[in-house]
Amino acid sequence: MLKKQKIFKTIGYIILLISCLSFLMILVVPWFGFSKIQIAGITTGLIIVGEITFYLSLFILGRSFYDKIKSKLKFWKTKTNDTNPPVQSDLK
């Protein structure tokens, strides 16, 4: 049973790697010499593949991995929900 869980975790990490690679490929597609329409189509396809594989990897790796990613990206959240907005002073 433990070996099966290890295989699932490895598959989850491989799918996460595929997701990251598909998002990184978006940056290099314009230099391959495709037309603008082809670039738009390929980019759209890569975004869809990246999103699907990312959520699939989260599903396979479980809630603990999701919480780990969420805690690593916590710095993105800023304190914008202040109950006391800044007061503007009259400088007339």
Per-residue pLDDT tens for 26-38? 999 999 999 999 9
pLDDT of residue 31: 94
Distance CA 7, CA 73 (A): 27
List, for residues 64-87, the tens digit of each pLDDT value. 888 888 887 777 665 555 556 566
* Terminal C-alpha separation, the chain: 74
**Residue 75 located in a structural domain:** no
**Residue 26 located in a structural domain:** yes
pLDDT of residue 87: 62
Q: Which domain holds residue 36?
A: 2-60
Q: Which of 92, 13, 22, 26 is nearest to 51 (CA)?
A: 22
For residues 25 and 78, the model is more confident at 25
pLDDT of residue 72: 79
**Residue 43 located in a structural domain:** yes
Distance CA 68, CA 87 (A): 37
Number of domains observed in the structure of the chain? 1
How much is the pTM? 0.71
* Residue found by looking up tokens 């975790």 in the block: 9
Our CA angle for 53, 54, 55, nearest 5°, is: 95
